[in-house]
Structure 1
Amino acid sequence: MQLKQLQQLQIKYETADIIPAPYCNQILLSLEQKTEGLSADFQIVYTYRDDLTEEDLYDEGFTSEDDFSWKGILNKAWRTAIEQLLAKTPERPNHKALEEEENFLEISVGKNFEGRPQNQAEWEYLLQELMQAVYETAQKEKNLSLIYKKIDRDKDVQTLFIDVFFSTRKAEAYTETGSGKTLKQFVWEDATPLMQQVFVGEFIPELASQNEPKNPGKYLTTGDGFWYEFSKSLKNPNGNKKYTVTLLDYFDELLK
């Protein structure tokens, strides 16, 4: 899509018909270019919950107050990301009928475009990132933080800290040993694939510890209050036998 400069963008989204409550939702995000950044009007409403009790919601990790709306300014770094995706978006909307398993997503770009984009999967991913940016900017949620701890047989400890800030589209990593802290080469483009990889793993809280580990092993905490030990409380997901090995190789490389 040819666009000299982003002025206004609206994204409408609704989960697929086969997604049950309490997971199904509708999202409306309106953005307008301002000098200080992107003026945002965000709303998320969870649907079809009338037959669910508060206990039902809690059992699924939700509450009765999950609906959220916010107006404010998003960091101007998001403008470049949006414009890059718009440049990759065909000017002809997608007119195919939605399948039952497909989410609905429609964008309006000023007077330039209105409809379902042909590269919908990319827009869904960007919307999830923008939603996380809204939650961080509104201080509804903290930034994503990972800590990887490696303890050898001699009880020598190496610790890797990774912080991902969707609010500013920045990421940083540093290591900590007995000799101090060392900043590592780590950028936003490295962060998002890593986060996708981390959270496909099988995390087992019942086998994890709430105490910081002291015994030899390799551990990961994602900010949920638990320390997961690789191959014990953090395991390969179904169909991916190389998950833990690949992830450990990546973390160990950053520790060097």
Structure 2
Amino acid sequence: MHLKTDDIIRLEIEFDSGSIPPPFSHTYKIKTGFEKDFVNTQFDITYTEREELSEDEIYEEGFTPEDDYSFKGELPKIWESPFKTLYGKTNWSNKKNLDENGGIKILAKDKHGKIVRGIPSNPEEWQYLAQEFIQGIYEINQKEAPLTLQYYVNDSQEGELFYELTVKFSVRKIELSINGKSINVSWESVKALLGFVFLPDYDYDQAQEKKPNKRGHYIHLGDGFWHEFGKGIINIDDTFDATSKIKSEFRKLNKH
């Protein structure tokens, strides 16, 4: 059963990471209520099966013993449409429950009081949207600042270009400037770039703190370091050239 999208007043998303080991294993639940002027939100994330890990082992993987997090509050109304749009185009699997591999479950309620539950056949899209929403929550609650990226190009073909990109998940807004000039870009136009940026491995031993001035291509991930393409950025998957994809997506932004 599929509820009419326009009638939905509440969506709940439950995620289980499945059989991946701690400290990475976790579950989260997002509850959204679509009000007149905002999206009423409750979010809880719990990291699981850490009992046998020492604090040092947790810290070594980039986590802390206090990673569980809860939020209750309001997010901007602009989030209602992406959730309803994704629900409207989703087909549902025949599975009733998640298995050991984990996954995602959806609950929807409409204004007539009908409630349906299902496991989507497009879980990656739901997980991606959920992660964007979680970043929006972190911004609203000032747990994290908006994502900022800088990209510097200095070569004979493209000349000298300095991109400054700010991604405001809370309001689904992109701020972009190239050589100081503001460029209007849509949220969707940056999605592919964001998907590629964090795929490679960044070697901080080869990174530098000052903005480069030599020929080359460089990226700054908002953490104080510049990484050079061809030196300190390494494709993890030999079958997929993420570094070239990053460059091409920035070029696309320069054509808007």
Structure 1 unaligned blocks of 5 or more: none
The 5-angstrom pairing of residues 8-27 of structure 1 reads 8-17=10-19, 19-27=20-28
Is residue 2:84 matched to residue 1:77? Answer: no
What does residue range 88-103 of structure 1 map to in structure 2 within 5 Å?
88-90=89-91, 94-95=94-95, 98-100=98-100, 102-103=101-102
The answer to whether the 8 Å contact 2:202/2:227 transfers is yes
Aligned to 2:9: 7
What secondary structure sits across from 2:7 in the alignment? coil
Of the three residues 163, 173, 178, the one matched with 1:175 is 178
Separation in 2, partners of 1:62, 1:143: 20
Alignment of 1:47 onto 2:48: yes
Partner of 1:238: 237
1:93 Cα shift?
A: 5.4
Shift of 1:172: 2.3
Matched, 1:37 2:32: no
2:146 pairs, out of 143, 146, 155, with: 143
1:103-150 residue CA offsets vs partner (Å, 9 max, x unmatched) = 232211112311322332222222112111111111111111110012
Answer yes or no: is the 8 Å Cα contact 2:192–2:249 preserved in 1: no
Match of 1:60 in 2: 61
Query: Structure 2 vs 1, CA of residues 96 and 9 (structure 1 numbering), >3 Å: closer, same or farther?
Result: closer
Could you give the per-residue CA deviations for residues 19-78 of structure 1, whole angstroms, max 9, x where no partner exists? 100011111111111122100011111111111122111110001111110111111111
The structure 1 segments of at least 4 consecutive aligned residues displaced by more than 6 Å after TM superposition are none
**Aligned-partner Cα distance in 2 for 1:142–1:170:** 14
Q: Distance in 2 between matches of 1:41 and 1:99?
A: 25
Which residue does 1:166 correspond to in 2? Answer: 169
2:137 aligned residue: 134
Report if aligned partners of 1:41, 1:70 keep a CA contact under 8 Å in 2.
Answer: yes
Q: Report what 1:104 is aligned to.
A: 103
Contact 1:164 1:170 in 2 (8 A): yes
CA contact (8 A) 2:12 2:108 kept: yes
1:158, 1:255 within 8 Å by CA — same for their partners in 2? no
Task: Give a deviation string over 1:142-184, Cα, whole Å, max 9, x none.
Answer: 111110012358xx853101111111111121112xxxx2122
SS at match of 1:29: strand
Structure 2 gaps, min length 5? none
After TM superposition, the score normalised by the length of structure 2 is 0.88
1:203 corresponding residue in structure 2: 202
Q: CA–CA distance in 2 between the matches of 1:250 and 1:13?
A: 30
Q: Give the whole-Å Cα distance in 1 for the aligned partners of 2:215 and 2:28.
A: 45
Contact kept? 2:196, 2:245, Cα under 8 Å:
no
Structure 2 counterpart of 1:224, one-letter code: D
Question: Aligned-residue CA RMSD in angstroms?
Answer: 2.1
The TM-score with structure 1 as length reference comes to: 0.88
Pairwise CA distance, 1:240: 4.1
Distance 1:238 1:9 in 2: 35
Taking only the aligned residue pairs, the percentage that are identical comes to 33
Q: Size of the alignment, in residue pairs?
A: 247
CA shift, 1:255, in A, is: 4.7
Q: Deviations over 1:161-210 (max 9, x none)?
A: 1111111111121112xxxx212242100111110011112211121112
The corresponding residue for 1:28 is: 29
Distance between the aligned counterparts of 2:201 and 2:85, measured in 1? 33
144-153 or 186-195: bigger deviation: 144-153
* Contact in 1 for aligned 2:96/2:119 (Cα 8 Å): no
Residue matched to 1:87: 88
